[in-house]
Structures are given as C-alpha cells and as structure tokens.
Amino acid sequence: MKNVKNENVIVRFADWYFENRSVYLDDYFKNDRDIFISALSNYAVEFAKAHGYNPFLIEKGNITFSMSKLRTDLYQPDQPKNSFVSYSKRFSNHVPRAILGNENYLVFLSELNDEKQKYVPSKVNKPKKQTTIAYFYEQEELRDNFFLRLITQNRFYKTLNYPVSVLKKLFYKNGRKDFFDKWVNEQIDNIAVYISKTEKIPFKEVVSLEITDDNSVLLNGKYNLFTAVAGSETKKEITTNLLKNIDIDHVIPFVDIFSELKPQLPALQDIHNALENNNKGRITNKKDLSKAGNYLLVNAEELDALEKDLELISSKVQLQLMDKYENLSKKKFS
C-alpha cells in the first residue's frame, strides 16, 4: 500500500550519495548503486530491530523531527548493548553508522529539508499545531491484528459454546484453511468504520491508520476515526495513543445473535457436545477448551456442515470499530 504521510527516501539518498559521497567509503560499495541500496536496506532492518523504526521512512512534513530522532539514536552515549551499534562495529568498523551519520545521511536530510522549505507558500493562514505520527499502520498490518482478535474470541455459553480457536484448528488441519481465512477476512472487510458523525466506510476501503502524538486517529491520511457513544445514537472522535484501545464491536450483541440462531447450528452443537465429552464436563475457559480440542476429530461431511453454520453466523454479524472505553460502558445500558 502507498504510504500517504511518510516517504521512503532510500533511493533518493543513494543518488545523492554517489554525487556527494565520502571518498574513504568508496571501496566498500565499489561505486555500484545497487550494492549500496542493498546495503542500506540491511542497515534499515538492523536499525529497526534496535530502535523500532526505519530510518529511511521520514515524515514528509517534519523532516527536522526525523533528523533529531535519528541523531539521538545514533549518537546517544549509553550504547554498549545497542544491537545496531554491535552490528555496525562488526561491519567494517562502523561503516553503517558512518553512512547514516553526520557526514552522509544526516547531511542529505538537512539538504532535503531546506529544499522542501523553498516550496512553502508565502501567504498562509495561522499555522495549526504541528503534530507528528507516533504509529503508522497499513491495511495489511491492521488486518493481521484484527484477524488475530477475531479468531481468539471464544465464547463460553451454557448450552452452546462458540469455540472459534478450535474451529480454526479443525479447518487448518483438514485442508480447509482457505475457507476459514476467507470467512474471517470477509467479516473484517465489512467492519463499519465511521469517518464522521454520520458517514462510514467499510474496512476494505481503509488504506492506512495513523495515531499522532496528540492522540488523534487518522484514516487514509485525511479522515478522523469516530466511535459510537455508549447509550446513545451519537458518534464522537476517537482519541487514543494505542491501537489496542480501538475495539472490534458487535453492533448487535453476539450473544443475542447466537441465541437466536442456536436451533439452526446443528454442527456447532455436535462440536460443543464432543468438546464437553472430552473435557468430562462443561468448558468455561480457554485452557480447558484448548486441551479438549486437541482430541477432537472431524470428517469431511462434518466440516461441510460446520461451513454452513459459520456462514449463517457471519451473515447476521455486524461489526464496527469502537473506542475501547465506550465499548466497556455499553454494559451499563444492556
């Protein structure tokens, strides 16, 4: 996916380097641009392992911040256990740090910043408070996160459990992975994502999600994320500093859907009974469910029936993104 707020400048830096390179480093890259870019990619991986971000992925509107953060992480004094410093030392006595440092990449960033400043319009309105991106997620990262959440939401009801983690194992072990993944991803695609108090888009139209340092949540680089307000029909902007504080919420409580559909879910009822038999009693927690599920066997006909049950459930489910604390407050109005 295209990164709408950040810019990967690795190729531009490579071009700059071969026009302005430090002579003493020439031998390491043999004047070969492709070798140099490959080396930069390796540096980026090692640096990200140590500091949690790609040094070549910079904020388009705030290069100064990127420079300051990189300089701090490169030259902080307490670095003996820093994995990037160790890597840099092993690699020809700190060539990687020299490339990223004050004589090379940081100079490039400074020049790039000066270049971009030339294009600031002379007549502007009163500037807004400068914000920076604390976290940036592309759709696939979000999808992986939501997928994990949905496949671990086991529900323990007295007469019919919803053991989704066990169902995943059954489909995966019996060559039905494609069905199960498609079933989950279609639910994710249709999650309602509010971009105003009245407008919403499906998750499949979300390209990126950004959390800024002032706790705003932006979608596709331009929309604020809104949440339903517990106990009302209104919506408000979500403010948070963590992705985990954005819940996947059932618009209609799942327990209500499940109770209504129970008579139409014979395959799930069979699974429920088999799991309780393996457990020698009712299952009420993940540990017992996992243990009982290890001894569960199904045939192709039973999997076919399970597919129908799961498709019926997903046809009734409506999901939305919701602020975690608003979601918790819903219990007061149940």
Sole residue written with tokens 């490579």: 14
Whole-number pLDDT of residue 312: 98
Amino acid at position 126, single letter: K
Q: Which of 84-93, 242-251, 323-332 has the highest mean pLDDT?
A: 242-251
Digit-coded pLDDT (tens) for 106-146: 888 888 777 655 444 433 333 344 567 778 888 999 999 99
What is the rounded distance in angstroms from the CA atom of residue 224 to the CA atom of residue 239? Answer: 9
- Backbone conformation region of residue 31, classed left if phi is above 0, alpha if psi is from -120 to 50, else beta: left
Compute CA distances 157 → 3, 154, 259, 284, 334, whole Å: 43, 10, 10, 8, 18
Query: Is residue 80 predicted with pLDDT exceeding 60?
Result: no
What global pTM score does this model have? Answer: 0.62
Query: Is residue 299 predicted with pLDDT exceeding 60?
Result: yes
Q: Do residues 188 and 150 make contact, with C-beta atoms less than 8 angstroms apart?
A: yes
